[in-house]
Amino acid sequence: MRKLNVFMLMAIFLGAATIFTGCSKDEDPVTGSPSIDFKGGATYTFENVTITTNDQIVVGILAAMHPDTKKPLTNFKLTIGSDVLVDSTFNANSFDADYTINFEEVGTATLNARITDESGSYDEISFDIIVEVAAVNVTKNTNIEMGSFNDPKGSFYSTGNATVYTVAQAKLNQAAVDFIFFKGVTNLNAIAAPDDSEVNTISTYQLADWTVKNQTRFNATTMTAAEFDAIGNTYVFPEFNATTAASLAKNLVNGQVLYFKTQAGKHGYIKVVDLFSRGDMAKFDVIIEE
């Protein structure tokens, strides 16, 4: 039997180790992905943020190829949700760009930025953006007195010019009229849009002769009179529920607040100040967005 001395065994093991190590070094490829970062500082938005409609943000991008692979950058893509804002193809070792983005609609979305190199390796970063309704300027008109069809105070109101019209005046200003006050046996104290079918049955209002009948719509609210009074020069109106909206608000009571939307798209509130116990008279406060 052939014997191997210690020196020979060590040489064999060393040789095998050398061969194994050399083989591994030759086969292992250099790997790595490019890098991308948002620019920081007061000028830029780079983390989760809440803004209001029509606000703008500035997003800054810095990207670079991996220092070991040295694969050039070939594509940059900037998306918000499913919307692609930028999809740029190029060939460079680095990438530096700023983008100004405007937000017009309410909602929540993720802004995502991705950089890709020529090998297909990529890196990406993101943050969330919440867009809320912005407060709008409002006008408050108080102690608006309205009467019946034959009352000099008039039954027709224009939110656009804060004017109460009589029957004759309203007929000449049909496009301006947003709602009509009336009292009835069934509806009692009521406010109706000019296109409402019930108010159109009141012959003394002469609506049959009108060619323009604005489609103002009303939502019931839980707003109190005190909450109405506390509204200042600006206000964030909630979403108007078109599904439950009605052209008629009836059986009104003192202190009640209605939410309305004009055909022109303006939002507002009507507060019942006084319905009086005698006579076909009423007094309202109205808030309307400018």
DSSP string of 116-162, one letter each residue: EETTS-EEEEEEEEEEEPPPEEEEEEEEEEE--TTSTT-SEEETTTT
pLDDT, average across residues 44-66? 96
Domain end marker among 132, 152, 184:
132
- Looking at 108, 132, 156, the residue that finishes a domain is 132
Domain of 117, CATH number, reads 2.60.40.10
The pLDDT of 76-89, averaged and rounded, is 97
Region 149-158 average pLDDT: 88
Q: What is the pLDDT of residue 19?
A: 37
The two beta strands, 122-132 and 49-52, are: parallel
In a domain, 249, yes or no: yes
In this prediction, residue 280 has a pLDDT band, given cuts at 50, 70 and 90, of confident
Residue type (1 letter), 236: V
160 assigned to some structural domain: yes
Q: Would you place residue 26 in the very low, low, confident or very high pLDDT band (cuts 50, 70, 90)?
A: low
User: If you write DSSP's letter for every residue of 217-277 in order, what string do you get?
Assistant: EEEE----HHHHHH--SEE-PPPP-TTT-BSEE-S--TT-EEEEE-TTS-EEEEEEEE--S
| Predicted local distance difference test score (pLDDT) of residue 258 | 98
At residue 149, the pLDDT reads 75
Same structural domain, 175 and 119: no
**101 and 180, same domain (yes or no):** no
Domain contains 170: yes
Residue 6 or 206, more confident: 206
Mean of the per-residue pLDDT values of the chain: 90
3: exposed, middle or buried (C-beta count within 10 Å: 0-12, 13-18, 19+)?
Answer: exposed
Instruction: Report the domain count for the chain.
Output: 2
179 within a domain of the structure (yes/no)? yes
Domain presence at residue 4 = no
Task: Tell whether 119 and 72 lie within a shared domain.
Answer: yes
What percent of the chain clears pLDDT 90, i.e. is strictly above it? Answer: 80
- What is 58-91 written as a DSSP string? EEEEEEE--TTT-PPEEEEEEEETTEEEEEEEEE
Look up the domain containing 213 and give its range: 136-289
Asked whether residue 175 falls in the same domain as residue 278, the answer is yes
User: In the prediction, which pLDDT does 11 show?
Assistant: 36
Q: Are residues 114 and 152 in the same domain?
A: no
Q: Cα(first)–Cα(last) distance of the chain, in Å?
A: 107
What are the backbone angles phi and psi of residue 255, rounded to the nearest 5°?
A: 90, -10
- Which tokens hold the place of 288? 């309307």
- Do 46 and 101 belong to one domain? yes
Same domain assignment for residues 117 and 144: no
Q: What is the pLDDT of residue 27?
A: 59
Q: Are residues 143 and 158 in the same domain?
A: yes
Helix (H) or strand (E) holding 180: strand 179-184
Query: Do 285 and 256 reside in the same domain of the chain?
Result: yes
User: Looking at the structure, do residues 68 and 105 belong to the same domain, yes or no?
Assistant: yes
Say if 201 falls within a structural domain: yes
If DSSP codes are grouped into helix, strand and coil, which group holds residue 53?
coil
Domain boundary among 113, 132, 151: 132
Q: Are residues 114 and 184 in the same domain?
A: no
Give 216-246 pLDDT, tens digit per residue: 999 999 999 999 999 999 999 999 999 999 9
Phi, psi values for residue 247, rounded to 5°: -90, -5
Higher pLDDT, 187 or 123: 123
* Cα 74-76-79 angle, rounded to 5 deg: 155
Q: Give domain status of residue 7, yes or no.
A: no
103 and 246 in a common domain? no
